[in-house]
Chain A
């Protein structure tokens, strides 16, 4: 059974940093392209970016609002996906989801809430 579980969310001040983790199981993580999607409170869904598999160069894509601030990385030896978030802004407050896909998203975790507030 495919499972992803996000963790690492919490309360952080504007300008601060946070690293989210995504533990994956039930599928061949090393060949999977992985994405992060977020949802601000009572708002819609926003794709943040993705990382390709190492065999595809582990290249990353990001949306403009987070490019240069957020970094997606992976550790295939641990079946883990990460989202390093720097220079956080109030508008980054959201539930963050990871998903094992580089295009559409058949599997979702429960998400982890990040609150950016002073």
Chain B
């Protein structure tokens, strides 16, 4: 099974600051048929289901603010929030879908200082 590890486990930043969340997979997740990395990012607010932010490591979903961006390749990936807003307080998860069983990172809790 591919193990997905996020860092840090929690993050406390001020409004307007840049947030960086890292995700590492235990093996490469590059899908050779389309040359894209099989890595997604989700945001989950309390009491709500997760919301897909990014797929294929860097493809932002329609309607997601452009302050959210995904990057990385191979085994190392990053979700960046360029300027933190109050509504970004949430837990963020990455997920690999390169091979079953699909696996999620343990989550990163983002809070405002």
- Closest approach, in angstroms, between the C-beta of B2 and any C-beta of chain A? 11
Contacts of A64 in B (CB 8 A): 101
Task: Please pick, from B52, B97, B104, the residue contacting A46 in the complex, using a CB distance under 8 A.
Answer: B104
Tell whether A110 pairs with B102 under 8 Å between CB atoms, given A45-B93, A45-B95, A103-B38. no
Say yes or no for B35: interface residue by CB 8 A criterion.
Answer: no
Chain A CB count within 10 A is highest, among B101, B103, B104, B105, for: B101
Say yes or no for A14: interface residue by CB 8 A criterion.
Answer: no
Which chain A residues (44-80) contact chain B, with CB distance < 8 Å?
44-47, 49-50, 61-64
Contacts of B93 in A (CB 8 A): 44-45
Say yes or no for B100: interface residue by CB 8 A criterion.
Answer: yes
Chain A-chain B contacts (Cβ-Cβ < 8 Å), number: 49
- Closest approach, in angstroms, between the C-beta of B43 and any C-beta of chain A? 12
> B49 near A47 (CB under 8 angstroms)?
no
Contacts of A111 in B (CB 8 A): 49
Contacts of B71 in A (CB 8 A): none
Q: Return the CB mask of B7-42 against A: 1 if under 8 Å, else 0.
A: 000000000000000000000000000000010101
Q: How far is the CA of A111 from the CA of B47 in the complex (A)?
A: 10
Tell whether A44 pairs with B107 under 8 Å between CB atoms, given A103-B102, A104-B52, A109-B49. yes
Residue of B nearest to A111 (CB): B49
Say yes or no for B69: interface residue by CB 8 A criterion.
Answer: no
- Closest approach, in angstroms, between the C-beta of A46 and any C-beta of chain B? 7
Interface set of A (CB-CB < 8 Å, partner B): 35, 44-47, 49-50, 61-64, 97, 103-106, 108-111
